[in-house]
């Protein structure tokens, strides 16, 4: 039976004395748990939940940074049949309380520090920093079936009615086992955990790592120098991250190159490496690989658009960069780049047993064992997005002749001009992102003098005086109907972002519309 419990139980038997979880402690010490000791702790927490009379189907909320005991608590709760409701550590109290009420949450699993910041919750606390243990009664464990719920993942923001994706054991376990083969995880791998476990991309990959007998290294800090020390000292071989984290790592390498005044040599090596077989490139960039510990094999990037030029920079240095595409409703991985495939502008091929088709209007539809059963107590939203077993992703895309999937953008972001032509904001954003003068950019269709929407760019710049130059350079690369007709310089240091560093487009649009209405602070207009 395909359950997360069965995957962990089998891995514990197969890899008992191998290290499963690694975590830095205060004073520079490291905590390590073998598969055998992790299993003991999982059973100990399940025993504690039995004492509290937590029953099959009860919802438990985890609201904490990622760490070993986050995963221990998760697996222990699943043993007694509980359903985990993970919340991002930065979620606000009002959102937490609404989710807790919607799910009739029985316990809040978090740290004392997090809990102390709450003002009005009456939820019982389980302290993640001192995870309780008790003797488990195996005879009283419920039978867990593959269609039983494992998680309810809320994807909405802090306004309106939260929408919870319900995911079964089969959804997550099937996705994890398929991904493990697809991205070539082995028992020898050590993964650096950077993304939050409340994010399905990280959680499913960690289930895949456990399934394969690999090790997971948790980072208590996301400071680049701290991460590099972990990469080196713990012999890390792989990591799942978002494109912005890849860019931050690359920025660090380039800063060091500039400090040593070796820019020309570095650029020359990159050009030479692009012409060499992939396996030879790491020898040209041995210093960089040494900073990463000398064992690093691959990155898996997801959660946002990965610029091919960014991926190419890493591949030229001998670091394999794979890309994944997914959505929480698909547990979450829909497609990924096969390990030996170096197609950098595609989001890869569908995973085994995941069927993808393109609707007449270009929308990506997904069917398979990883597809959610719907939304928590929300039949209207379920009926709108799930039809005849197919999930309507809201993403637009296409396949090439080699079955590589490409994304065009979000259906709801599509700009339909007054002349009926379609403009994909993501196409324009990608061109803007490639400009070194641009830190970030978001493109919208803004109504213009009652004549329909026009293409409008919101720019995040180091030097705002370069805005018109940026627009002119971009328009030279765009088709006539894609031309940027207006722009606004974002007035803050950064765009509002989600916990996975995606730009909150609705928040940006809301502020943009307020700026437009304020006659004393009109957006600048491109002539």
pLDDT 10s per residue in the chain (527 long)? 899 999 999 999 999 999 999 999 887 889 999 999 999 999 999 999 999 999 999 999 999 999 999 999 999 999 999 999 999 998 889 889 999 999 999 999 999 999 999 998 889 999 999 999 999 999 999 999 999 999 999 975 434 578 999 999 999 999 999 999 998 999 999 999 999 999 999 999 999 999 999 999 999 888 888 898 899 999 999 999 988 889 889 998 999 999 999 999 999 999 999 999 999 999 999 999 999 999 999 999 998 888 899 999 999 999 999 999 999 999 999 999 998 999 999 999 999 999 999 999 999 999 999 999 999 999 999 999 999 999 999 999 999 999 999 998 888 888 888 777 889 898 899 999 999 999 999 999 888 766 678 999 999 999 999 999 999 999 999 988 899 999 999 999 999 988 777 888 989 998 988 887 764 444 444 43
Buried b (16+ CB within 10 A) or exposed e, 233-266: ebbbbbbbbbbbbbbebeeebeeebeeeeeeeeb
**Which of 66, 63, 127, 122 minimizes the C-alpha distance to 95?**
63
Q: What is the pLDDT of residue 159?
A: 46
**E strands along 155-261, which residues?**
164-168, 190-193, 215-218, 238-241
d(CA 87, CA 73): 14
Residue 150 host element (H or E): strand 149-154
**Residues forming beta bridges with residue 234, ordered by sequence position:** none
What local confidence, expressed as pLDDT, does residue 451 receive? 66
Give CA–CA dist 519/527, Å, rounded: 19
Q: Which two tokens stand for residue 100?
A: 């807790």
Residue 215's SS3 state is strand
Q: How far is CA 137 from the centre of its chain?
A: 36
Q: Report yes or no on whether pTM surpasses 0.85.
A: yes
Q: Is the peptide bond before 239 cis (omega within 30 degrees of 0)?
A: no
Angle between helices 35-51 and 4-14 (to 10 degrees): 140
Least Cα distance to 191 among 289, 298, 287, 278 occurs for 298
Q: Whole-angstrom Cα distance, residue 277 to residue 284?
A: 12
Whether residue 320 contacts residue 297, with contact meaning beta carbons closer than 8 Å, is answered with yes
- Residues contacting residue 56 through CB under 8 Å, at least 6 positions apart: 80, 81, 82, 142, 144, 148
Give how far the C-alpha of residue 117 lies from the chain's centroid of Cα atoms, to the nearest Å: 26
Beta strands across the sheet bearing 486-489: 438-447, 453-461, 486-489
Whether residue 350 contacts residue 356, with contact meaning beta carbons closer than 8 Å, is answered with yes
Strand segments (E) across 35-89: 59-63, 83-87
* φ, ψ for residue 203, nearest 5 deg: -65, -45
The per-residue pLDDT for 26 is: 82
Contact 443, 452 (CB under 8 A): no
Q: What are phi and psi of 309, to 5 degrees?
A: -65, -35
The dihedral sign for the CA sequence 73, 74, 80, 82 = positive
pLDDT value of position 158? 39
β-pairing verdict for 386-387 and 415-416: unpaired
Cα angle at 307 between 371 and 476, to 5 degrees? 125
pLDDT of residue 518: 66
Residue 186's pLDDT is 96
Q: Yes or no: say if 339 and 298 are a contact pair by the CB < 8 Å rule.
A: yes
**DSSP 3-state helix, strand, coil percentages of the chain (rounded to 5)?**
40, 25, 35
Task: Output the pLDDT for position 527.
Answer: 36
CA distances from 341 to 182, 278, 319, 323, 394 (A): 11, 11, 13, 10, 27
> What strands, in cross-sheet order, belong to the sheet with 164-168?
125-127, 107-110, 59-63, 83-87, 149-154, 164-168, 374-375
CB 376 within 8 A of CB 166: yes
For residue 304, give the nearest of 325, 322, 329, 321 by alpha carbon.
325
Output the pLDDT for position 146. 97
Q: Output DSSP code: residue 525.
A: B
What distance in Å separates the CA atoms of residue 69 and residue 339, rounded to the nearest whole number?
31
Q: What is the DSSP string of 303-339?
A: SS---HHHHHHHHHTT-EEEEEEE-GGGSSEEEE--T
| Three-state SS sequence of 490-512 | CCCCCCCECCCCCECHHHHHHHH
Q: Domains for the chain: give ranges and CATH numbers.
A: 4-172+194-209 (3.40.50.12780), 242-327+335-352 (no CATH), 355-405 (2.30.38.10), 412-521 (3.30.300.30)
Give the whole-angstrom CA distance, residue 23 versus residue 32. 7
Strand partners, 355: 367
Query: Which contiguous run of DSSP H or E holds residue 371?
Result: none
């Amino acid at each position: 039976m395909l359950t997360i419990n069965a995957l962990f139980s089998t891995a514990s038997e197969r890899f008992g004395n191998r290290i499963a979880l690694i975590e830095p402690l205060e004073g520079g010490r490291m905590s390590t748990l073998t598969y055998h000791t992790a299993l003991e702790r999982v059973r100990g927490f399940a025993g504690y939940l039995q004492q509290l009379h937590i029953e099959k189907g009860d919802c438990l909320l985890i609201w904490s940074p990622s760490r070993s005991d986050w995963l221990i608590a998760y697996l222990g709760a699943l043993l007694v049949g509980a359903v985990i409701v993970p919340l991002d550590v930065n979620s606000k109290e009002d959102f937490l309380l609404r989710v807790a009420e919607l799910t009739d949450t029985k316990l809040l699993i978090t740290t004392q520090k997090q809990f102390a910041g709450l003002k009005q919750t009456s939820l019982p606390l389980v302290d993640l920093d001192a995870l309780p243990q008790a003797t488990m009664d195996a005879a009283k464990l419920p039978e867990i079936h593959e269609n039983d719920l494992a998680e309810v993942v809320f994807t909405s923001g802090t306004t309106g009615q939260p929408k919870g994706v319900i995911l079964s054991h089969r959804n997550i376990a099937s996705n994890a086992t398929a991904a493990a083969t697809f991205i070539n995880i082995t028992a020898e791998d050590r993964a650096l955990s950077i993304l939050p476990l409340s994010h399905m991309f990280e959680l499913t990959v960690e289930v895949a790592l456990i399934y394969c007998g690999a090790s997971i290294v948790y980072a208590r800090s996301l400071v680049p120098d701290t991460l590099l020390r972990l990469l080196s000292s713990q012999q890390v071989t792989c990591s799942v991250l978002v494109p912005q984290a890849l860019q931050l790592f690359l920025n660090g390498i380039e800063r060091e190159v500039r400090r040593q005044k070796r820019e020309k040599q570095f650029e020359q090596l990159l050009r030479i490496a692009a012409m060499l077989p992939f396996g030879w490139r790491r020898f040209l960039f041995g210093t960089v690989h040494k900073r990463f510990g000398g064992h690093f094999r691959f990155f898996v990037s997801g959660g946002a658009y990965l610029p091919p030029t960014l991926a190419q920079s890493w591949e030229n240095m001998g670091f394999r960069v794979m890309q994944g595409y997914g959505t929480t409703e698909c547990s979450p991985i829909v497609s990924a780049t096969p390990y030996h495939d170096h197609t950098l502008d595609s989001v890869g091929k569908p995973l085994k047993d995941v069927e993808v088709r393109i609707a007449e209007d270009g929308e990506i539809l997904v069917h398979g064992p990883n597809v959610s059963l719907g939304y928590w107590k929300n039949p209207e939203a379920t009926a709108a997005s799930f039809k005849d077993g197919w999930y309507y992703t809201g993403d637009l895309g296409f396949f090439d002749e080699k079955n590589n999937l490409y994304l065009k953008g979000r259906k709801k972001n599509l700009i339909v001009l007054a002349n009926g032509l379609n403009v994909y904001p993501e196409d324009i954003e990608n061109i803007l992102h490639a400009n070194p003068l641009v830190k970030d950019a978001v493109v919208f269709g803004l109504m213009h003098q009652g004549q329909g929407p026009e293409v409008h760019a919101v720019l995040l710049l180091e030097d705002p005086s370069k805005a018109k130059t940026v627009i002119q350079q971009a328009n030279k690369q765009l088709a006539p109907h894609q031309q940027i007709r207006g722009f606004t310089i974002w007035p803050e240091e950064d765009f509002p972002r989600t916990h996975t560093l995606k730009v909150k487009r609705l928040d940006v649009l809301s502020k943009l519309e307020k700026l437009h209405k304020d006659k004393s602070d009109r957006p600048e207009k491109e002539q």
